[in-house]
Amino acid sequence: MADTALAAAMSPLGAPGPGRRASCSSAGSKRRSAWIRRSRAGGSWGHVDSLGSAGSASSGRGLGGTARLEVPAVHRRRRGGGKPEHGDSLGRMSPIEYVLQTRALTPDGYRSPSGRQSPDASDGCLLPGSPGPAAEADPDTGLCCRREEAAAGCGRPSWGVVLEDARLQAEGQARRRAYEAAERAAGRDADPEVAARLEAGQDLYPNCHVHIWLRSCKEEVCQPLRGATSGCIPRWIRGTLLRNGPGSLECGRDKFQHLFDGAALLQSFRIADGEVSYQSRFLRSQTWRRNAAARRIVVTEFGTRAAPDPCQTIFKKVAAMFRPGEVMSDNAMISVYPVGDEFFAFTESPVMTRVDPVTLRTLERVNVASTLGIVNHTSHPLVQEDGSVVNLGMSLSATGPQYSLIHFPAPQPGGAPLAAVDAGRLRGGVAARWPLHPGYMHSFGATASHFVLVEQPLSVSVPAMVRGQLSGDPLAASLRWFPEHPTLLHLVSRDTGRRTHTFEADSFFFLHVINCFERPSLAGEDSPAEPGEVVVDICCYKDPAMISCMYIDALQDAQQNPDYARLFRGRPLRFVLPLAAGAQQLAGGRVQPRPLCDLGCETPRIHPRLTSRPYRFFYAISADVDADNPGTLIKVDTWTGSCATWGEAGLYPSEPIFIPRPDGQAEDDGVLLCALVWGDDDRRAGLLVVDAQAMVELGRTEFTAPSQVPKCLHGWFAPGVV
């Protein structure tokens, strides 16, 4: 009953009401163009440009003159200097309001009432000016003549039509000039097709439905929903595909500002005897319950500031710093993994939430900070072949922050549900290279003999985080990017828990390690018993600009941002670490990676029995926004560099999970399971089964949900759970 009441309290999530704008994912949504928002907010064209590069509106400086990762300027500042409130949409005006209040229409174009052109007009930045021309406007619409009256032949000039056309033309010209100026400043030639699309107000990435990330579920599917199956679902597949991701970007009238802030929504596809059923439920985290009770955002998330709590004194805020598992958001919206015999939803705060894989009900909240003394952990633990689980967290020692390995033992027959979690222990680690700026780690890797910790120069500023704890700033405001410093690849012995090697590579940003393994050196000087090389495969990016690309405003503006695809572009790279000679064998003392393929790959998965072992194939979804089909499934052959793909226009599969055929011998003898969403139908969900060898569809089951179906992030297949 309590859950039902809380679900009712959350019913305003995304529902349009008085003074509210409908969801931006609807086809008829009216959004202001990027240039208007930036001019009002004091930003610039490049508000999601590479961090610290020319043209970035959020180019705050970190220590040592390095670039600082911040919320874009449009999120930080209202016109007039005030700070936006939590979840605020910057007080959006209608297009006609904007023209009437900021422009005077003259035969020479848009000028201020004094006749002086804006000093930035030559660069396409039309700054807001004084109110527009005095006109006998209708008191309700602000227009001299309604469109309906003009169509009926009332004889008066339709100023509404004139102003609307002039606004669209001016916006298009401003976008084009801003783009051409930005390209000139970067030393590049402007693409005529891009310039023409910007001026015409057309989508720059017409094949990509970016709005699939902006959907909010309004109604859960608590009872299994049957769907329509086409093709064949292999009968040997028996289990449940669990999925996790942001399920709602709204809470009451408040809106989350980053994709990583949305309320966690669990989805499941139960597969048995060739049939599939679908369910979805919100994770009843402590954060979800508090937000639901208040009908607003009251817990600060990764990129969203919570509503201020007038009862929270400075002393309580300071005391809260020593209880990270209680004060940090436990909105576990990233992944699902087994620990012991149970399944847990994960985020990067030191909290694991146990869920029922059959009903998707939230069972128990486990604060590992209180038992292990860590302040966070990754959302991608490694499940070992024997059933034990290893994760990477951060703990505090006498010398400063340390990346600590957390070991949860394999489940024991007849053990208590949380026995494996309660038996978790820290097993060594590596000290952070910068005590006040420990690195941000989303995942890690392992080989047969080593754990692989990749310390990228994207760090969490401890001083900024302390200030943020007192001021209510989100975690994203404390991230710092140090591009002039190398990325470190640490090898930690599985036996001793101590670091054995550290290698350097040029700076890069990453979220996901594909796989790691050991092999004899290519020179043949080492025996297989003493591996000569460690191979580390990672989905890499030049910098962390893609984090800024996932702000909600950035996603809404993506189709009018000519830099969006470039900022989101990454490639899978292979790093080979020579154990015998160490860094002395490397040119310049740094590891030089090679690309595994020339396609953007994300959420990579491999054959589960080849984790930490030599492998050949990995599977991923396309990360290239400007691809001919951005919803492509990709199979990469790491031996040859060749790729095989599967795709269908307007269809977006999730992270592909490989399920080996029971009697299969080849590495790729099995199927890929993917959750599906459609770009043109936000209530449509599905399960896709693809033959992993031939990369052809075997079958799919489609469902019609009662409300929007958001795109998920990560998941796990639970065999035998039906």
What would the pLDDT profile of 376-397 be if each residue is shown by its tens digit? Answer: 999 999 999 999 999 999 998 8
Query: Does residue 198 sit in the same domain as residue 251?
Result: no
* Confidence at residue 456, expressed as pLDDT on a 0 to 100 scale: 98
Does position 251 have pLDDT exceeding 80, yes or no?
A: yes
Q: What is the mean pLDDT of residues 134-147?
A: 40
121 lies in a domain?
Answer: yes
DSSP state of 551: B
Packed helices 192-200 and 159-185: angle between N→C axes, nearest 10 degrees: 150
Q: What is the mean pLDDT of residues 534-559?
A: 97
Task: Tell me how far apart the alpha carbons of residues 652 and 672 are, in angstroms, rounded to a whole number.
Answer: 14
| pTM exceeds 0.85 | no
Q: How many domains does the chain have?
A: 2
Q: Please choose, from the candidates 287, 297, 281, 384, the residue with its C-alpha nearest in 3D space to the C-alpha of residue 340.
A: 384
Q: What is the mean pLDDT of residues 211-237?
A: 98
Q: What is the mean pLDDT of residues 227-244?
A: 98
- Residues 399-453 have pLDDT tens digits of 889 999 999 999 988 888 899 999 999 999 999 999 999 999 999 999 999 999 9
* Confidence at residue 534, expressed as pLDDT on a 0 to 100 scale: 96
Query: Does residue 245 sit in the same domain as residue 116?
Result: no
102 lies in a domain?
Answer: yes
47 carries a ligand binding annotation? no
20 lies in a domain?
Answer: no
Query: Does residue 532 sit in the same domain as residue 473?
Result: yes
* Confidence at residue 315, expressed as pLDDT on a 0 to 100 scale: 47
437 carries a ligand binding annotation? no
Does position 128 have pLDDT exceeding 60, yes or no?
A: no
* Confidence at residue 50, expressed as pLDDT on a 0 to 100 scale: 35
Q: Please choose, from the candidates 266, 246, 265, the residue with its C-alpha nearest in 3D space to the C-alpha of residue 256.
A: 246
Name the domain boundary from 136, 171, 205. 205
Query: Does residue 668 sit in the same domain as residue 635?
Result: yes
Task: Tell me how far apart the alpha carbons of residues 698 and 719 are, in angstroms, rounded to a whole number.
Answer: 19
Model confidence at 525, pLDDT cuts 50, 70, 90, reads very low
Contact between 553 and 37 under an 8 Å Cβ cutoff? The reply is yes
Q: What is the mean pLDDT of residues 15-21?
A: 36
Model confidence at 19, pLDDT cuts 50, 70, 90, reads very low
Query: Does residue 359 sit in the same domain as residue 389?
Result: yes
Query: Does residue 447 sit in the same domain as residue 309?
Result: yes
Strand 254-255 relative to strand 263-272, pairing: unpaired
Query: Does residue 356 sit in the same domain as residue 499?
Result: yes
Q: What is the mean pLDDT of residues 60-77?
A: 36
291-307 burial, b if ≥16 CB within 10 A, otherwise e?
bbebbbbbbbbbbbbbb
Does position 651 have pLDDT exceeding 80, yes or no?
A: yes
Range 413-419, long-range pairs (CB < 8 A, 24+ positions): 415/340, 415/341, 417/340, 417/341, 417/342, 417/354, 417/364, 418/340, 418/342, 418/354, 418/364, 418/366, 419/340
Contact between 613 and 576 under an 8 Å Cβ cutoff? The reply is no
The two tokens of residue 667 are: 């590495």
| Alpha carbon of residue 374 to chain centroid | 24
- Residues 680-709 have pLDDT tens digits of 999 999 999 999 999 999 999 999 999 999
533 lies in a domain?
Answer: yes
> Please, what is the average pLDDT of the chain?
81
218 lies in a domain?
Answer: yes
209 carries a ligand binding annotation? no
24 lies in a domain?
Answer: no
**Residue 176: in which H helix or E strand, if any?**
helix 159-185
Query: Does residue 45 sit in the same domain as residue 124?
Result: yes
Model confidence at 159, pLDDT cuts 50, 70, 90, reads confident
Query: Does residue 419 sit in the same domain as residue 559?
Result: yes
Query: Does residue 167 sit in the same domain as residue 270?
Result: no
Give me the domain span that covers residue 71: 31-205
Query: Does residue 218 sit in the same domain as residue 276?
Result: yes
416 lies in a domain?
Answer: yes
DSSP state of 118: P
| Alpha carbon of residue 97 to chain centroid | 34
Question: Cα dihedral sign for 379, 596, 645, 657?
Answer: negative
Task: Tell me how far apart the alpha carbons of residues 32 and 287 are, in angstroms, rounded to a whole number.
Answer: 31
Contact between 224 and 687 under an 8 Å Cβ cutoff? The reply is no
Contact between 299 and 290 under an 8 Å Cβ cutoff? The reply is yes
* Confidence at residue 522, expressed as pLDDT on a 0 to 100 scale: 60
Name the domain boundary from 148, 179, 205. 205
490 carries a ligand binding annotation? no
Contact between 154 and 145 under an 8 Å Cβ cutoff? The reply is yes
* Confidence at residue 397, expressed as pLDDT on a 0 to 100 scale: 84
8 lies in a domain?
Answer: no
Query: Does residue 48 sit in the same domain as residue 76?
Result: yes
Name the domain boundary from 205, 238, 255. 205
Task: Tell me how far apart the alpha carbons of residues 51 and 175 are, in angstroms, rounded to a whole number.
Answer: 22
Q: What is the mean pLDDT of residues 67-78?
A: 36
* 701 phi and psi angles, rounded to 5 deg: -125, 130
The two tokens of residue 399 are: 């010398």
Q: What is the mean pLDDT of residues 584-602?
A: 87
C-alpha distances out from residue 393 to 65, 167, 349, 447, Å: 28, 52, 10, 18
